[in-house]
Each structure stands twice: as structure tokens, then as C-alpha cells.
Amino acid sequence: MSAIANRVLLAALAAGLSACLAVAARADVVYTFEQTGPTVSAGGLYSQPGPVPNVVTTGSFTLDQSIVRSPYSIRSGNQGGVGMAGLEAISFATTGPGSLLTVNLASFTTLPPPGSGRFYTISLTGIAGSLIPTGTISYNNSESDARLTIEADTDRDGVATVRGTFNTDAGGGCFSSGACSFSGTLTATMVPNGLVPVPVPEPSSAALFGLALLGMGLARRRR
């Protein structure tokens, strides 16, 4: 390959790398919760112990990429003290026989009417170098309530364990306080400019790509 062709190839690859980095700089990070097993009742006065069919929790929240992998604190709840900078969106739902419990961003930013019995809290803490925050998300519509606890991503692979509880006054296997538990995973994906989610790269990925380009250039020069 000629020297001119080498320069054209390297220029094109460098431009592609610059474009990728520019897109990443404008991206959001979406955290998706997926329940990985059944909701299980501990048993009690009104329910039998064991799996409870058709009770499932799903949800996600979105953070501005500029705060990810750094220490941050997102706090909100019925008691005030709102600090929501960096939280772009949130949506969770727990469905079951006779009950539907949902929550969105407005639930955490708008105080419910006094005496309504509705209660929404979020507490997320960023850890330096980690994609996944630790913390809790809880929501109660006065009939049903759920609470999710996000554990630390100790191996820093962008996936964390989440454990939760759910109970409802609507009856069924999760009737009574703290009757049911569930677990799942929280996975991080990147959404460039609000488009299709793609896996979040580790910090070393872009650097390795740049080194590869440099190596290609040196190898071509020696020929």
C-alpha cells in the first residue's frame, strides 16, 4: 500500500474515533432492572410460603454520562431534600393479580397530597470508577409498595445484583407487610444522543483503539 493510501486510511480511522468519542460525550447511561427469578412469599397469616405467580417487577433509570464513574449523590423523597441533578428519567412497575404499582420521574419530584398515603424515595450513590451506583428505590401508592436495593458492582463489569420486597393490600400471595421478596440484575447501557442503546465501553477501550491506530501507522511506515 502506498504512503498516500496509508495516510488516507489512518485519517479516516482517526476521524471515526473522534466521532465515536464525540457521540459518547453526549450520551446518557440507561440502567435496566430485570427480575431473574420468581417473586417469593415468606408466608404468614394470609399467605402460604413459596413462589407467587404473575408478580413481576420491571424498570429502568437514566443518568447523564457526565456523572457516571464519579462520586455523586441523588436524593429525593416525601420529606424534601431533593437533589436530583444527573437523573434524566426513571420508570418502575410491579404488577400482580389485582394490583399495579408504577412510578416515574414526576413521582420523585412532586410531593403527593397530604394524607394520600403515597410515598416515593430514591437514594443513589455514585462510586469512583464504577458504572453502577449503590442505593435504594422505593414506591408506595397507599395500597401496594415495593423497595429495591442496588448492591455494589464489586467486579466492575457493569452488572449489579438487586434485591427487593413487595407487599399489597389487594390480596393474594403478597398480602401483608414485607410478605414477598425478589431479586434480579441491573445492567448499564449507553444511549448516544437518545438513540438505540449500546453496551457501555470500559475506559480502556478508546485508549486501546487509539494505540491500535498508532501501531498500524508505525507498521505501515516500516514497509
| Per-residue model confidence as pLDDT tens digits over 104-126 | 998 888 888 888 888 889 999 99
| Mean of per-residue pLDDT scores for the chain | 79
- Residue % of the chain over a pLDDT of 70: 71
Nearest to 41 by CA among 53, 59, 58: 53
* Arithmetic mean of pLDDT, 62-75: 94
Q: How confident is the model at residue 200 (pLDDT cuts 50, 70, 90)?
A: low
> With 70 as the cut, is the pLDDT of residue 169 above it?
yes
Predicted model pTM: 0.73
pLDDT at 195 (0 to 100): 55
* Arithmetic mean of pLDDT, 202-213: 49
Q: Residue 203 burial (CB < 10 Å; 0-12/13-18/19+)? A: exposed
Render pLDDT for 29-46 as a digit per residue (tens, 0 to 9): 999 999 999 999 988 777
> Which residue's C-alpha cell is 455514585?
126
SS3 state of residue 191: strand
